[in-house]
Each structure stands twice: as C-alpha cells, then as structure tokens.
Amino acid sequence: MIDIQSLVNDLNAVRAKSPLVHNITNYVVMNNTANGLLALGASPVMAHSLEEAAEMASIASALVINIGTLEPQWVEAMLLAGKTALSKNIPVVFDPVGAGATSYRTRVCKQIIEECRPTIIRGNASEIMALHQANIKTKGVDSTDSSDIAVSSAQSLALQTGAVVVVSGQTDYITDGKNTQTVENGNPMMARVTGMGCTATAVVAAFAAVDPDALQAAVHGMAVMGIAGEIASGKSRGNGSLQVNFLDELYNLDETAIKNIIK
C-alpha cells in the first residue's frame, strides 16, 4: 500500500529542490529522458566524457547509468562516474538495458554492479532474470516471462547486491530482498513507446535524489510513472501521441490526480 502523502511530499521535494540528475545513458532516449526529468521538475545533465564524468557526478544529486547503446569508452565513464558517486554517497540508479541479449551486455552489467554498487537497479523481467543468472552463474538462459520467477530473481539479486531491485511490467515489483512492494498503475501501450523504461529509471533517480529511503524512492518513482502513463494512455491514439501526452501529464501531476488514479 503506497502512502499517498509521502509520495506527494517527495514529488513536491523534487519540484522544490530541482535536483541535478547526471545521466550516462543511451542515444535513443536522451531527449525523452531529459524532457521527462524536466517535466517532473528535476534538472537533467548528460555527460559521458572521461574528462568530466567524475567531476559531473560529484556535483549531481543522483547518477543514472543506462547501457542501452554501450561501447567500451562509455563503460569506462560509467564506471568512473559510478565509483565517484559511490564514494560520495550519491545514489546510483542502474538500467541494465538488454542484459542477456549479448554476452557483452551481461558482462558489463556484472562489472557495473560489482564496482559501482548501485542503490537501485530497474529492468524488465528478462533483464532482471539475466542479471540474477549472471550473478549466481548456475542457470542457463531462461526464456520464461513469468513474473513470479522475475520476482524471486529480483529478491535474490537485491539480497546479493544490496540494491533495491525494480522489475517493471504490468505490475511493477520493487524489493530490497525482504520487503516487496507493487505498483499496479500503467497501461500496456507504454511498452510501445521507446525508452519508457529508461525514463522510469531517471524518474526513480530524481526521487532517490530527495528521499534517502531507496525502497520508498523507487516505489514513488514507479507510481508516478504508472499514474502519468495511465492518464496519458487514455488520451492517446498511438505511441506518437503517448510519448507527448506522457510528458504533459508528468508536468501537471498533482495530489488530486494521484488520489484519483492510484491503485
């Protein structure tokens, strides 16, 4: 059960403080991620050069690492920024895009988790299962999409890594390994907008920037995504208008809309 007042307080805190969220993310979603953070009231910056990744991470209130279009030089910058953030207690939110699709992705994910110790990891069911399997190295590739299996993978991954783990899907599961919460808002059309998950990761990072309770920050971020996405989907004819309407709903989200829509 989500405490609405606590969610609204965090949303207001993001808008009041406009935390700087440093993103080392992929080419496909940069524009939308930046606009998502601006719609929410946060302040995005994208910077991936080794020359400035550590300095930028140092002045940020949260760091997003997203491997969607990874390459070796970018991974170096992710590790540098992530370790800098870790050493300064700045929350790191990790999005393991496509984990399991190629061996390179799975290997890089493992390295980022080990060296940067993310505060929060957010992925879809198959990404979280791939990470968990990579970690325990005992199972082959699992093709099932069952959310039950993803939940138990998420819980194990959380216990192994110390991160709060988010599995997004029809129901979003958010767990620290012991306590598992759910967010039931959203709409299947959201999966047809590229980078909606990447925006979720950045929104969660904005909440982590203002709320030191990582489990609660992740629940609040996913709830805001689901509520804005659900309202926007009801007004959209397809993924083009949904991408636009989602930003408008995030921009206008208030306590009344949250109370009316939250499940």
Q: Which is nearer to its own copies, 149 or 244 (CB)?
A: 244
Terminal CA-CA length for the chain: 9
Q: Distance between CA atoms of 76 and 79, rounded to whole angstroms?
A: 5
Q: Which part of the chain contacts its own copies (CB under 8 A), choosing from 130-138, 146-154, 204-212, 234-242?
A: 234-242
Chain centroid to CA 121: 7
Assigned token pair, 219: 């629940």
- Interface with its own copies includes 44 (CB under 8 A)? yes
Q: Does 19 bind its own copies (CB under 8 A)?
A: no
Q: Find, among 259, 193, 254, the residue nearest to 229 by Cα.
A: 193
For position 226 contacting its own copies by CB under 8 A, the verdict is no
Is position 56 an interface residue for its own copies (rule: CB under 8 A)? yes
252 binds its own copies (CB under 8 A): yes
Task: Tell me how far, at minimum, the Cβ of 33 lies from its own copies, in Å.
Answer: 9
Give the HSE-up count for residue 199: Cα atoms under 13 Å, Cβ half-sphere.
Answer: 28
- Tell me how far, at minimum, the Cβ of 254 lies from its own copies, in Å: 12
Which one of 3, 4, 9, 31 is in contact with its own copies (CB under 8 A)? Answer: 31
Tell me which DSSP letter residue 183 carries. E
Q: How wide is the angle at C-alpha 137 spanned by C-alphas 72 and 204, nearest 5°?
A: 60
Q: Is 247 in the site for its own copies (CB under 8 A)?
A: yes
52 near its own copies, judged by CB under 8 A: yes
Interior angle at CA 231, CA 226 and CA 232, nearest 5: 95
Q: How far is the CB of 174 from its own copies (least distance, A)?
A: 25
Binding span for its own copies by CB under 8 A among 71-79, 127-135, 159-167, 210-218: 71-79
Q: How far is Cα 200 from Cα 218, in angstroms, rounded to an integer? A: 9
Among 5, 89, 103, 143, binds its own copies (CB under 8 A): 103
CB 168 within 8 A of CB 122: yes
> 124 has which bridge partners?
168
Among 2, 11, 30, 81, binds its own copies (CB under 8 A): 30
Binding site for its own copies (CB under 8 A): 26-32, 34-35, 38-39, 44-52, 55-56, 59, 68-73, 98, 101-105, 192-195, 236-241, 243-252
